[in-house]
Structure 1
Amino acid sequence: MSICGILYAVCTPLFFNLAFAQNSDSNCTFEPVSIPIKWATLPNKGSIRGGAVSMGTPAQNFSVLPIVEINNTYLFQRFDGCDITEAACRTHRGGFFIPEDSDSYKSDIAASPTSPQWEASETLTSGGIGSDSFVLNGNTTISQFPFGVVEKEITVNHAGGNGQASFGLGRNSTILSMLKSAGKIGSSSWGYWWGLDGATDPAKMDGNLVFGGYDRAKIKNPEKNHTGKFTERGLCPQGMTVTFNEIRLNFPNGSQPNLLQSSPLQACVCPQCTNVMTLPYDPYYARFETWTEAVAINRSLGINFFDMMYHVDEVYQGDLTLVLDTGLEIRILNSQLAIPDLTIGGDGRIDGNMSVRDLTLYSLQDINRFDMPRLGRVFFTGAYLWVNNDEETFTIWEANPTTESELVSVTEPKSHEECSASSQLIGPSTTPTGTATQAAGGTSPTGGTLKGGAIAGIVVGVLVALSLFGFSIYWILAKRQTRLAASAPDYVDSYPEVDFHPEKRKQQVNAGTPLVEMWGAHASEMRGDMASPQELYSERDGGPASVHELPSST
């Protein structure tokens, strides 16, 4: 590598670190911050899926979910009351923050938080507030980041009883505001793809959460999207609603009946919810079970909490296509729709029951029958979400499942006016693809224009080279690599090691739950001999009259 290249690699992150200590009005370097969404390994050797980050000195690892109902970030402290053991509770919470184990933690014991970055509209009724060093990825650390430390639950309005560590990504998000004020990102926007979370290798892939932009590689067709405006919270605490004209069952035989028939259905976007969506039992879920000839045996009490549970040889074998009122179609593959039941064992590790499947649909009935349907994170295995808090809009595209990344920086109008196009510097991407920059004046981002980052890097390198010797550069580079290796979260990149104990699980379902061969041992479209083939649904409950079973060959 040339001296200029080495200088640019060293000095770019040094300038960013300086920005947090002393904000500069002339800082126009905007680079999105990407956080992997994966099964993150915790100190108890358990793992749970979410954004992989760390807090404190030395680093304590966490798995964090994006929550739009709140603005501040919350971690849980040690507690044994949320699950069967403390170890299980630690996994459930996405990690415990232990203040006394961090040399850099500062507790804010004032009646009102003294940190100007804390969103003061949120008041905890239990727990406390502090600040510490927050590592988002190997290149981005926020010193003295304010966050809530809670025990039993996040006791603020609209938190929705979320039980895992949470990024507050609401309209006045603390973390987005701090990154934006420091000049790291150019807008309070964020992109989100949950990734693929099935049981077999082809059905597994890490997702990502992008602050200050979105990941264009994860979007199948940027021109084809659905864009909506924020709404009053009301029945939708997230303030983002969509309308579906169709929800199609994609049976293996090619038939595609519409669950909604002729009635559109409105739903609320809930990125952290544990399913594809929630559906009123009457008439939609009742119609689903009639057409699939499948009867739920229970509800999951594991990671996919309260989703519907079926015997493995009776669960629906097709895909699900959701069609928005703008015509955008999102298809959820069966590998994401019907998955093994996963629970957290007493040692904090994941236990799996392969004799049943959790269908990631939630039937709204009894006391919940009037709730507004919600779109959860499994919907975002097939869709990509971009939320623009500055413009108060959100955009949904069909997702392009890929491990490649092309981060696009979005600049909100005020920042864009302050920084002329020629002065915007684009820092080097940590991925093989380039980074693009775009003004967020339109309703949805569809592309970007590459800037002269390489030229700017050379200029910076030449200026610094005047005051540094070659050996000093190599020494700084080596020190930086050591520091990043020590501070970056240490996480696994794959599905967790699952402990399958059918003999232990069969008592938790119905007594008649059969023991079956492992995943993939049978052709997925086939059912057992006790019932007619699942893909042929009847005309009951208003099913299309044009679909019939094939006549016999006699």
Structure 2
Amino acid sequence: MSSFQLYSLWSLSLFSLISPALSAECRPRAISVPFKSHTLATKSEVRGLLWQIGGPNPQNITLMPSAWYNETYLWGSLGYCPAAMSAVMCSTYRGGLYDRSNSQTETDGPNMIAHTFDDTVANWTRDDVRLSDNTSMPQYEFAMRTNSVNSYVHKGEVGLAKTSTFIQALAKDDKTSSNSYSFFWGNEVSNEPRDGSLTVGGYNQALIADGPNVTVSFTDEVKCKEGIIVNITSLAMQGKDVWEGLPDLRVCVIAATSNIMSIPGHYWDPIQAAMGVELTATRNGTASSHFYNTTLVKPESAKYTGDMSLSINSVSTITIPNSQLLFDERYIATTGLIQTRSEAKQIPIVRIAAGDGMMPRIGGMFFSSAVLVVNHDKKEFTIAPAATKPAAAKIMAIDTANACIGEVKVAASSANPNDPKQSGTSNGGSNPGSSDVPSNGSGNASNPPGSSVSSSTSLSKGAVAGTVVGVLGGLAAIVGAAFLLYRRRRANAQPSELAAFRDNQDMPAEKYAYHASEMYVESESDKSLRHEMDGTGRPHEIAGTAGGHGGHMERV
């Protein structure tokens, strides 16, 4: 274990022990909502975070978590889908289409307002929003896209960046007690599906496996607007480091994309050789819409039975099981349903074209085997290995104001989130999706994810309380020693641990997605399928006409 990891364990464990004794009160609050397949009005099931918008009959919209955006962006009734898609296919592709004309609670109508901190212009409106745990956000402001942006994130997105209006709205309504969140994708492609979750205000400790994890400060870098950057220092398949001899791969974490990772071709080649797979002929072995541009291989070549293990910053190892690495191709059928076909096997890895300029990335499906914990208050994030088996949730809420962490009880997801009768409104009372009462009734903090202690060495809650009292006499010395260790470690930190090095800030902004012509030779039959722009993930849109059909500009 590295000295950096020891610092992480010691400092976070110390924090969890002493923080309740130092605070006048501890009122941790958090909400947790599922990230899973939800039923849309078209009866198709689409994975994401469920928002029920409007009334009296709320419209189901599924959203992806965005670490870059501060606002919420979704798709209106026009959809702006590829021309070959039917209306029901478009609804699935977009994660649902919000029709303001079908809502009696929508108030402002579409207004063209520039929200400069997201570097985009869109149609903005307000409507009542309810999450799947019945948390209500009356007259929440959100944006409807005015044109197609990119194919990698083709659903709506809820912004979770440092000035997130979503997180601020929850905090203002006293539902959360910190500017933090955690995300777990779950599993949608194996025979044993598993729900994921987004926890705002803390994290689900039951999702985090024992073992080392990585905590890193945010990086201010033009090529990764999310600011979440780590190094992949090795990649093992069946016990062999197939990236041996290659430089560490510096990656931007973008959990909104539906893939495990996006990597340059010379990093893909040894993976392909280890798996022994052969690309399909169509689109040079890439998917067209669902799990966009991930790799498709011939089924007769898909004989690999091993897993794939990635080392993050030479500290934490994340293992992607075979069932989530190689599976039957997923696609959107003409009925709008997401179906599978055995004519091709899918590997959720994107191969970056040579000369593209895209920074390599870790995508959302990586977090089927890991948990992302973001703490904007401390300007840092943690990546931890995920527990392989489901367990009862243990939501740990961070109370930044009182410097404490405590377990809270949160409401379960609605049994039937599509039933308009279950739509709730804010009444000023307690929020069913959050709690300010620690489940143990004491307000004592429990170990945050950085501690990663096993059950054989962790202290019981009663022992934690006793330790708090016992350590007060030597508190100053302990804190002083921890601070000196912190400064010493920071002074000698390696770039892979703290992401201290930066790219040239004068470099042009990267493309979020690359054009299809850079990836494959397009056949005549394929051309009818591709009206959506691959675009950039840093859209610089110009408002369209009143009908929303105007063009847009994008930085390249």
Q: If the TM-score is normalised by the length of the shorter chain, which range does it land in? A: 0.5 to 0.7
What is residue 44 of structure 2 aligned with on the other side? 46
- What code does the residue aligned with 2:248 have? P
What is residue 548 of structure 2 aligned with on the other side? none
Residue 373 in 1 paired to residue 356 in 2?
no
SS in 2 for 1:360: strand
Q: Which among 270, 276, 298 is matched to residue 293 of structure 1?
A: 276
User: CA–CA distance in 1 between the matches of 2:367 and 2:265?
Assistant: 23
- In the TM superposition, residue 287 of structure 1 has moved relative to its aligned partner by 2.3
Residue 261 in 1 paired to residue 252 in 2?
no
User: CA–CA distance in 2 between the matches of 1:393 and 1:449?
Assistant: 28
SS in 2 for 1:133: strand
5+ residue gaps, structure 1, are 1-25, 114-118, 452-506, 510-554
Residue 37 in 1 paired to residue 17 in 2?
no
User: CA–CA distance in 2 between the matches of 1:450 and 1:184?
Assistant: 25
- In the TM superposition, residue 112 of structure 1 has moved relative to its aligned partner by 4.5
Identity in percent: 23
What is residue 122 of structure 1 aligned with on the other side? 118
CA-to-partner distance for each residue in 1:187-208, whole Å, 9 max, x for gaps?
A: 11001110012231x3x11111
- In the TM superposition, residue 383 of structure 1 has moved relative to its aligned partner by 0.5
- In the TM superposition, residue 160 of structure 1 has moved relative to its aligned partner by 8.7
1:144–1:435 distance in 2 versus 1, CA, 3 Å: farther
User: CA–CA distance in 2 between the matches of 1:300 and 1:60?
Assistant: 29
Residue 133 in 1 paired to residue 114 in 2?
no
User: CA–CA distance in 2 between the matches of 1:105 and 1:76?
Assistant: 15
User: CA–CA distance in 2 between the matches of 1:295 and 1:435?
Assistant: 53
Q: Which among 205, 222, 226 is matched to residue 216 of structure 1?
A: 205
SS in 1 for 2:118: coil
- In the TM superposition, residue 165 of structure 1 has moved relative to its aligned partner by 1.2
User: CA–CA distance in 1 between the matches of 2:255 and 2:263?
Assistant: 16
CA-to-partner distance for each residue in 1:37-88, whole Å, 9 max, x for gaps?
A: 1111100111211112211112111111001111001121112541311211
Q: Which among 407, 410, 423 is matched to residue 429 of structure 1?
A: 410
The answer to whether the 8 A contact 1:85-1:346 is kept is yes
The answer to whether the 8 A contact 2:126-2:141 is kept is yes
Q: How many residues align?
A: 403
SS in 2 for 1:170: coil
1:233–1:86 distance in 2 versus 1, CA, 3 Å: farther
Equivalent residues in 2 for 1:80-119, closer than 5 Å? 81-83=80-82, 84-107=85-108, 112=113
- What code does the residue aligned with 2:131 have? L
The answer to whether the 8 A contact 2:26-2:399 is kept is no
CA-to-partner distance for each residue in 1:214-250, whole Å, 9 max, x for gaps?
A: 00000012x6210111111322222111112211112
SS in 2 for 1:121: helix
- In the TM superposition, residue 306 of structure 1 has moved relative to its aligned partner by 0.8
- What code does the residue aligned with 2:93 have? H
User: CA–CA distance in 2 between the matches of 1:110 and 1:280?
Assistant: 41
Residue 307 in 1 paired to residue 294 in 2?
yes
Q: Which among 394, 399, 402 is matched to residue 416 of structure 1?
A: 402
Equivalent residues in 2 for 1:85-484, closer than 5 Å? 85-107=86-108, 112=113, 121-122=117-118, 124-125=120-121, 127-153=122-148, 162-200=153-191, 202=192, 204-221=193-210, 224-250=212-238, 255-261=239-245, 263-282=247-266, 284-297=267-280, 298-315=285-302, 316-368=304-356, 370-401=357-388, 402-412=390-400, 415-416=401-402, 428-430=409-411, 435=439, 444=450
- In the TM superposition, residue 307 of structure 1 has moved relative to its aligned partner by 0.9
The answer to whether the 8 A contact 1:385-1:394 is kept is yes
1:106–1:367 distance in 2 versus 1, CA, 3 Å: farther
1:140–1:213 distance in 2 versus 1, CA, 3 Å: same
- In the TM superposition, residue 426 of structure 1 has moved relative to its aligned partner by 7.6
User: CA–CA distance in 2 between the matches of 1:305 and 1:140?
Assistant: 32
User: CA–CA distance in 2 between the matches of 1:299 and 1:160?
Assistant: 13
1:260–1:143 distance in 2 versus 1, CA, 3 Å: farther
SS in 2 for 1:416: coil
CA-to-partner distance for each residue in 1:344-382, whole Å, 9 max, x for gaps?
A: 1222112321121111111112342x4221001121111
User: CA–CA distance in 2 between the matches of 1:239 and 1:77?
Assistant: 29
The answer to whether the 8 A contact 1:46-1:349 is kept is yes
SS in 1 for 2:365: helix
User: CA–CA distance in 1 between the matches of 2:97 and 2:353?
Assistant: 34
- What code does the residue aligned with 2:58 have? A
User: CA–CA distance in 2 between the matches of 1:60 and 1:231?
Assistant: 37
The answer to whether the 8 A contact 2:152-2:292 is kept is no
User: CA–CA distance in 2 between the matches of 1:131 and 1:240?
Assistant: 30
CA-to-partner distance for each residue in 1:287-334, whole Å, 9 max, x for gaps?
A: 222333322112111311111111223123321100122421100001
Q: TM-score, normalised by structure 1?
A: 0.66
SS in 2 for 1:197: coil
The answer to whether the 8 A contact 2:25-2:402 is kept is no
Q: What RMSD, in angstroms, separates the aligned Cα atoms of the two structures?
A: 3.3
CA-to-partner distance for each residue in 1:154-192, whole Å, 9 max, x for gaps?
A: 6xxxx9963201110111100111111222111110011
1:365–1:229 distance in 2 versus 1, CA, 3 Å: same
The answer to whether the 8 A contact 2:406-2:444 is kept is no
SS in 2 for 1:65: strand
Task: Kindly indicate whether structure 1 or structure 2 has the higher relative contact order, using CA contacts under 8 Å at least 6 residues apart.
Answer: 2
- What code does the residue aligned with 2:402 have? H
